[in-house]
């Protein structure tokens, strides 16, 4: 991985690598800002106190102000190593060098400049700049000394080495943190993908098991009963003219079997109804329970709220309740798996002649006019057609309003039967 300035797209002149997401690095950047201006101010104050009224004083003040202004211009020029940025760094260092030549007390402003050079320049050029600044610091300290002092020769290189080592260490730590965060995101994505595949597999296995159970139930009850009715009616037809009493017994027996089959058919319908509705409580309560369950299962990733407006004049037919619940479940499943939404709302509105269910989310949305692509595994892809079929079977309508990036609103409106009208055969069954 390259460590030059091209990888530091959003960093300022004194921002550390990874400071956009690292609080410690941001504090270090602010500390380097403050250190530069404190050292600059202290150096200027020392010069004015030690050398009042000298002819070079106006130059020192002007150069100090210029150095401060140049340093503040760094963020304006951006953070990439563009020609303007490199020219700015060159002028900044040149002004500092002139100040050090005129007043050696400005030498310690080099420490923040170390970090600035290390962040902007490629590694070799940055090290060369650090070495050059260190030489100027050593020369300035020797000018201030009355005699030769080994500490003045060894201390500046030691400080420069420590500053460089700290920067390189923090840079490597930032790179490791970014790599670790990327690996964690990949692991989380893999885990979510695995959970979705497992859930889809469990749904398929549950569907197959339920189909097998129903096929055996139908074979052992309805199919056997219908076969018996057929044989009895055929026998009654053969003996209708010759033995009316026997034919009548056959018809009565077939009638009893039909009544038993009708009871079994009603039991199947009850078993196939959604379990939540079978437990009682009505559609309003079941939708609230569904919203709470989806919110809990999302573990903070999705918040589902339920709102009910009005009250039904009479209990909703079981077919209507079952269809609307299935539509709500399917819409929330699509929201969880595809919409990447953080909030969804279920709104059930009871009107005089119809009931309306709205499911809205703040997800990424889609273009309803485009065909829905079928996934390679074929697990999903029939959500909206299945919902529309359920509503149309009840004489209702399903509308979808969505656009990329603007969420989705799905509305299912189902007309209610007239309470004064006689019940249909399906309702009587």
Q: What is the spatial distance between Cα 361 and Cα 407, in angstroms, rounded to a whole number?
A: 5
Judged against a pLDDT cut of 90, whether residue 211 lies above it is answered with no
**Confidence at residue 376, expressed as pLDDT on a 0 to 100 scale:** 46
Those residues whose C-beta lies under 8 Å from the C-beta of residue 141, and which sit 6 or more positions away, are: 104, 107, 149, 152, 155, 156
Higher pLDDT, 197 or 158: 197
Enumerate the β-bridge partners of residue 360.
345, 409
Q: Are strands 397-402 and 354-361 parallel, antiparallel or unpaired?
A: unpaired
Percent of the chain surpassing pLDDT 70: 80
Residues 153 and 157: their CA atoms lie apart, in Å, by 8
Parallel/antiparallel/unpaired status of strands 343-350 and 303-309: parallel
CA distance 351 to 308: 11
User: Which pLDDT value is given to residue 24?
Assistant: 60
Please provide the average confidence, as pLDDT, over all residues in the chain. 78
- Gap between the Cα atoms of 387 and 113, Å rounded: 66
Query: Residue 229, Cα to own-chain centre: how many angstroms?
Result: 59
Q: Which two tokens stand for residue 429?
A: 């069954």
Per-residue pLDDT averaged across 238-250, rounded? 88
| pLDDT on residue 6 | 37
Which range among 54-58, 138-142, 148-152, 390-394 shows the weakest confidence by mean pLDDT? 148-152
Contacts of 342 (CB under 8 A, 6+ apart): 301, 302, 303, 362
Backbone angles phi, psi at 309, to 5 degrees: -115, 130
Angle at 110 between CA 105 and CA 113, to 5 degrees: 150
Chain centroid offset of residue 296 CA? 17
Inform me whether the pLDDT recorded for 414 exceeds 60: yes
- C-alpha dist (Å) from residue 41 to 15, 38, 244: 22, 5, 123
Residue 2 predicted with pLDDT over 50: no
Examine the pLDDT at 39 and tell me if it is beyond 60.
yes
CA 194, CA 216: separation in Å to the nearest integer? Answer: 33
- Residue 31 pLDDT greater than 80, yes or no: no
In this predicted structure, what is the pLDDT of residue 348? Answer: 95
Quick: pLDDT tens for 166-193: 777 777 777 788 888 889 899 998 888 8
pLDDT at residue 377, rounded to an integer: 44
According to the model, what pLDDT value does residue 205 have?
A: 85
Confidence class for position 15, pLDDT limits 50, 70, 90: very low
pLDDT of residue 276: 66
Q: How confident is the model at residue 400 (pLDDT cuts 50, 70, 90)?
A: very high
Q: What is the DSSP string of 119-176?
A: HHS-HHHHHHHHHHHHHHHHHHHHHHSSS--HHHHHHHHHHHHHHHHHHHHHHHHHHH
Which is higher by pLDDT, 111 or 415?
A: 415
| Digit-coded pLDDT (tens) for 251-302 | 888 888 788 788 777 777 666 666 666 666 688 988 998 898 888 877 678 8
What pLDDT shows up at residue 12?
37
Q: What is the pLDDT of residue 130?
A: 82
Given a contact cutoff of 8 angstroms between Cβ atoms, the answer to whether 398 and 410 are in contact is: yes
pLDDT, greater one: 47 or 23:
47
Confidence band (pLDDT; 50, 70, 90) for 151? Answer: low
| 393 or 280, greater pLDDT | 393
pLDDT for 372 equals 58
* Low-confidence winner among 52-56, 78-82, 99-103, 301-305 (lowest mean pLDDT): 78-82
pLDDT digits (tens, 9 = 90+) for 45-55: 888 888 777 88
């Amino acid at each position: 991985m390259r460590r030059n300035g091209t990888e530091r797209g959003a960093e300022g002149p004194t921002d550390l690598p990874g400071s956009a997401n690292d609080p410690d690095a941001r504090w270090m950047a602010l500390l380097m800002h403050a250190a530069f201006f404190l050292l600059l101010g202290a150096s200027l104050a020392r010069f004015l106190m030690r050398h009042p009224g000298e002819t070079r004083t106006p130059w020192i003040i002007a150069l100090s102000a210029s150095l401060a202004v140049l340093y503040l211009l760094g963020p304006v020029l951006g953070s990439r190593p563009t020609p303007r940025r490199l020219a700015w760094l060159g002028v900044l260092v040149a002004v500092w060098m002139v100040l050090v030549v005129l007043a050696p007390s400005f030498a310690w402003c080099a420490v923040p400049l170390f970090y600035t050079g290390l962040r902007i320049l490629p590694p070799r050029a940055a090290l060369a700049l650090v070495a050059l600044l260190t030489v100027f610091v050593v020369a300035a300290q020797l000018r201030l000394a009355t005699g030769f002092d080994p500490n003045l020769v060894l201390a500046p290189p030691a400080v420069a080495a420590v500053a460089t080592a700290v920067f390189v260490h923090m840079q490597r730590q930032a790179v490791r943190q970014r790599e670790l965060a990327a690996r964690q995101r990949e692991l989380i994505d893999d885990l979510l993908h695995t959970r979705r595949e497992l859930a889809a597999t469990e749904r398929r296995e549950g569907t197959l098991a339920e189909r097998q159970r129903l096929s055996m139930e139908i074979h052992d009850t309805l199919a056997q009963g219908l076969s018996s009715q057929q044989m009895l009616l055929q026998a009654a037809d053969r003996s209708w003219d010759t033995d009316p009493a026997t034919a009548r017994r056959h018809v009565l027996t077939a009638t009893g079997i039909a009544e038993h089959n009708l009871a079994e058919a009603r039991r199947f319908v009850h078993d196939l109804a959604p379990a939540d509705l079978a437990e009682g409580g009505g559609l309003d309560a079941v939708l609230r329970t569904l919203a709470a369950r989806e919110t809990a299962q999302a573990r903070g990733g999705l918040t589902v709220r339920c709102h009910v407006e009005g009250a039904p004049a009479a209990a909703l037919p079981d077919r209507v309740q079952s269809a609307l619940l299935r539509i709500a479940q399917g819409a929330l499943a699509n929201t969880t798996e595809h919409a990447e939404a953080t909030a969804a709302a279920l709104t059930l509105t009871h009107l005089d002649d119809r009931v309306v269910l709205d499911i809205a989310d703040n997800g990424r949305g889609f273009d309803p006019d485009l065909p829905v692509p079928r996934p390679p595994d074929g697990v999903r892809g029939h959500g909206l057609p299945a919902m529309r079929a359920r509503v149309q079977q009840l004489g209702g309508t399903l509308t979808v309003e969505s656009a990329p990036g603007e969420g989705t609103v799905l509305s299912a409106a189902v007309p209610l039967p007239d309470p004064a009208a006689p019940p249909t055969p399906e309702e009587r069954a």
